[in-house]
């Protein structure tokens, strides 16, 4: 049976040696987040900060910091959840393992929340300024809730059956919010709360929202789970948590989990937007200040023994990377059902998740064709870009399983090599321009706006990839230090970018025009222009982060001997990607040096943080 509440979870982790109490006073402004990030990178334990400067509530960090610990949290229910998902993917599994039916049916009973008249979460009340004020990065606009569970219901069909529980950024103070009366609610494209908000605006009615913090860990995971539209996250939380979620239902209020640690109740203010941010985000940069909805706070509840769980996001990998891996572990087998012919997908964490999506599909349209080329792959690519949050991908790379049945989609270097051996830049680039991209991605010509490219490769290899730099590799003036990242990918240091947002760069066009028909650079299929080629080529993860977070396909893809034929763009020479930081890009995240110096002193021998970071 899963945990009833977060306190039970903390006790269990402490009993099994997977949690460490930090009893020295630390500040929620920069210090606690910096410690959590360092301990995550070290593969360390969950952390209970018992003395938070200026705050009465303890803070829990790194709860989901390793896959081993995340699986441990749900050890009693994980096999059942996986079995039920397998049944949905392949109904024949019911016939193969009839002995699973009784357990599966009992588990399914946990899907339904149960109504209760009261519970621990409503026993105490406080104010917004009494909550832990976590500030993760120096330029953050204020304190944020980083593991919120934002609950809303359909105005047209109220009740939990038409509810949404999502993890949307919540700013507690700063900017122009009225202290203790207003907080910022940042939700992005393709989020369930947006449907409820649109309904409320259409009917000119206020939208009530509850923000839960804490409770059993299954609630946190449910809030980030990409469930099919129409399946309430509360149902999945009950299944994963091994018990029905107890919901307090009081007249005139939205329900709240009885065992949550905190609940902020309020109403989205109609026709009011206020600046929210900046905030250091999961792409590894600051998301800048923009207008987002405002929540007028009615009440702040908490249980007597409340614990405030948190995380700190930044350039991957971080704790939210474990969320992604865990979700893929649960939902990966369902991909072939969602998109027929697709065998596997991988949203690459090192590239910021949404910017780069790898896929392995099938190429079965013309089995008699002498030389296989992408046909069915393009159908599958379009379907993937219309499926849930996969639609936020900027770069979708897809290859045919028939060409390499054992290709491992999580071996990114091998995948890139397979694709680059087969891709034909004259044929295999397929763009979508002026479309929606991730709100947090600033590479496009405007907020929420950018482009996508599908790179589809199928058939036998058409080139051999060199594992060494070509000899006599001359470059235009200002371009220097060429370095091979992986076979077929060359990073070149370029002058700083200076052009305005959404415009082609004449310097890159001149770079492409420099190379004659016999130039040795033509031995390399993909050239990437960067600010620091040494850093970019030093590790594959560096390349993935630089190349795909700092570029927009329609703006930043160029080519040697490029041209357009029947509105199809391609190039016969190397593809050139401009992955430099542009003037409109936000700054990469950097720790505050003074903060790092303080916590490193605490980590020295004899210090309170020794041995965990």
Q: Take residue 432 and report the two structure tokens written for it.
A: 């979508």
The predicted structure's pLDDT at residue 459: 95
Residues in the chain, total: 613
Helix (H, G, I), strand (E, B), or coil: what is residue 611? Answer: coil
β partners of residue 248: 116, 256
Q: Which domains does the chain have, with CATH numbers?
A: 6-73+112-310 (2.30.110.10), 333-457 (3.40.1670.10)
**pLDDT number for residue 312:** 97
Residue 185 burial by Cβ neighbours in a 10 Å radius (0-12, 13-18, 19+)? buried
High-pLDDT (> 90) share of the chain, % = 76
Q: Provide the pLDDT for residue 100.
A: 55
- Tokens standing for 394? 């900027």
Q: Using an 8 Å Cβ cutoff, are 31 and 595 in contact?
A: yes
Q: What is the pLDDT of residue 97?
A: 58
Q: Which two tokens stand for residue 101?
A: 């039916």
C-alpha 487 chain-centroid distance = 28
Q: Determine if the pTM surpasses 0.75.
A: yes
What are residue 348's phi and psi, to 5 degrees?
A: -75, 115
Please check whether residue 208 is in contact with residue 157, taking contact to mean a CB–CB distance below 8 angstroms: no
Cα-only R_g, the chain: 25
299: exposed, middle or buried (Cβ count in 10 Å: 0-12, 13-18, 19+)? middle
How high is the pLDDT of residue 95? 47
- Do residues 259 and 292 touch, judged by C-beta distance below 8 A? no
Check residue 11 and give its pLDDT. Answer: 97
β-pairing, 526-530 vs 449-457, is unpaired
Distance (Å, rounded) from C-alpha 7 to C-alpha 304?
Answer: 11
Helix, strand, coil share (%) of the chain residues, nearest 5: 30, 25, 45
pLDDT value at residue 263:
98
Nearest to 474 by CA among 514, 534, 517: 514
C-alpha 154/C-alpha 466 separation (Å) is 57
- On the 0-12 / 13-18 / 19+ scale of CB atoms within 10 A, 490 is buried
Give the CA diameter of the chain. Answer: 79
Beta strand 286-287 pairing with 279-280: antiparallel
List all residues 6 or more positions away from 387 whose beta carbon is below 8 Å from its beta carbon. 338, 339
Helices and strands in the chain: count of H runs, count of E runs: 18, 30
pLDDT reported for residue 150: 96
pLDDT of 102: 59
Helical packing angle, 217-224 and 233-241, nearest 10°: 140
Encoded tokens for 550: 């700092």
Tokens in use for 357? 């999506």
| pLDDT at residue number 349 | 95
Collect contacts of 105-109 with beta carbons under 8 A, ≥24 apart: 107/77, 107/80, 107/81, 107/239, 107/242, 108/84, 108/239, 109/244
Mean pLDDT, each 10-residue run in order, the chain (613 residues):
93 97 96 97 96 97 97 92 67 52 70 93 98 97 97 91 93 97 85 85 91 97 84 91 93 93 95 94 94 96 98 95 89 79 94 94 86 93 88 95 96 98 98 89 88 97 94 94 97 96 94 96 97 98 98 97 96 98 95 95 89 85
Residue 157 to residues 162, 194, 232, 405, 572, Cα–Cα distance (Å): 6, 15, 13, 47, 56
Structure confidence at residue 365 (pLDDT)? 85
């Amino acid at each position: 049976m899963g945990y009833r509440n977060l306190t039970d979870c903390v006790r269990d982790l402490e009993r099994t040696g997977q949690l460490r109490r930090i009893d020295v006073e630390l500040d929620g402004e920069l210090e606690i987040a910096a410690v959590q990030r360092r301990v995550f990178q070290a593969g360390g334990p969950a952390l209970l900060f018992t003395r938070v400067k200026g705050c009465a509530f303890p803070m829990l960090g790194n709860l989901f910091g390793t896959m081993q610990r995340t699986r441990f949290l749900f050890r009693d229910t994980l096999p059942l959840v996986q079995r039920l998902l397998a049944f949905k993917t392949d109904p024949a599994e019911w016939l193969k393992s009839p002995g699973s039916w009784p357990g599966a049916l009992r588990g399914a009973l946990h899907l339904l929340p149960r109504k209760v008249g009261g519970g621990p979460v409503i026993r105490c009340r406080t104010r917004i300024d009494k909550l832990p004020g976590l500030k993760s990065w120096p330029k953050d606009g204020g304190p944020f809730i980083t593991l919120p569970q934002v609950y809303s219901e359909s105005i047209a069909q109220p009740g939990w059956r038409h509810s949404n529980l999502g993890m949307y950024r919540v700013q507690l103070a700063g900017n122009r919010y009225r202290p203790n009366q207003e907080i910022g609610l940042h939700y992005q494209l393709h989020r369930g709360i947006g449907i409820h908000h649109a309904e409320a605006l259409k009917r000119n009615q206020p939208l009530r929202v509850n923000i839960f913090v804490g409770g059993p860990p299954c609630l946190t995971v449910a809030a980030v789970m990409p469930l099919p539209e129409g399946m309430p996250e509360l149902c999945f939380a009950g299944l994963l948590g091994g018990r029905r979620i107890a919901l307090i239902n009081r007249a005139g209020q939205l329900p709240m989990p009885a065992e949550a640690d905190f609940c902020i109740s309020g109403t989205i203010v109609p026709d009011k937007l206020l600046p929210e941010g900046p905030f250091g985000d999961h792409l590894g940069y600051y998301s800048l200040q923009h207008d987002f909805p405002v929540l007028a706070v009615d009440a702040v509840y908490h249980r007597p023994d409340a614990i405030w769980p948190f995380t700190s996001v930044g350039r991957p990998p971080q704790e939210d990377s474990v969320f992604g891996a865990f979700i893929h572990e649960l939902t990966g087998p369902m991909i072939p059902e969602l998109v027929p012919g697709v065998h596997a997908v991988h949203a690459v964490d090192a590239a910021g998740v949404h910017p780069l999506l790898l896929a392995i599909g099938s190429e079965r349209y013309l089995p008699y064709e002498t030389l296989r080329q992408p046909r069915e792959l393009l159908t599958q690519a379009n379907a993937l870009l219309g499926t849930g949050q996969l639609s936020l991908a900027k770069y979708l790379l897809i290859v045919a399983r028939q060409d390499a049945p054992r290709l491992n989609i999580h071996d990114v270097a091998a995948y890139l090599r397979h694709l680059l051996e087969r891709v034909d830049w004259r044929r295999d680039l397929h763009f979508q321009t002026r479309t929606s991209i991730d709100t947090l991605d600033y590479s496009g010509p405007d907020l929420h706006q950018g482009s996508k490219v599908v790179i589809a490769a199928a058939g036998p290899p058409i080139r051999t990839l060199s594992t060494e730099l070509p000899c006599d590799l001359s470059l235009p003036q200002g371009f220097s230090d060429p370095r091979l990242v992986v076979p077929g990918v060359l990073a070149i240091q370029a002058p700083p970018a200076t052009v305005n947002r959404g415009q082609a760069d004449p310097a890159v066009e001149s770079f492409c025009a420099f190379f004659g028909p016999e130039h040795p650079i033509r031995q390399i299929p993909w050239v990437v222009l960067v600010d620091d080629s040494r850093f970019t080529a030093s590790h594959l993860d560096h390349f993935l982060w630089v190349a795909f977070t700092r570029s927009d396909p329609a703006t930043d893809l160029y080519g040697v001997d490029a041209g357009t034929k029947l509105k199809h763009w391609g190039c016969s020479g190397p593809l050139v990607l401009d992955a430099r930081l542009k003037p409109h890009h936000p700054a990469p995240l950097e720790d505050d040096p003074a903060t790092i110096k303080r916590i490193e002193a605490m980590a020295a021998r004899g210090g309170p943080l020794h041995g965990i970071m």
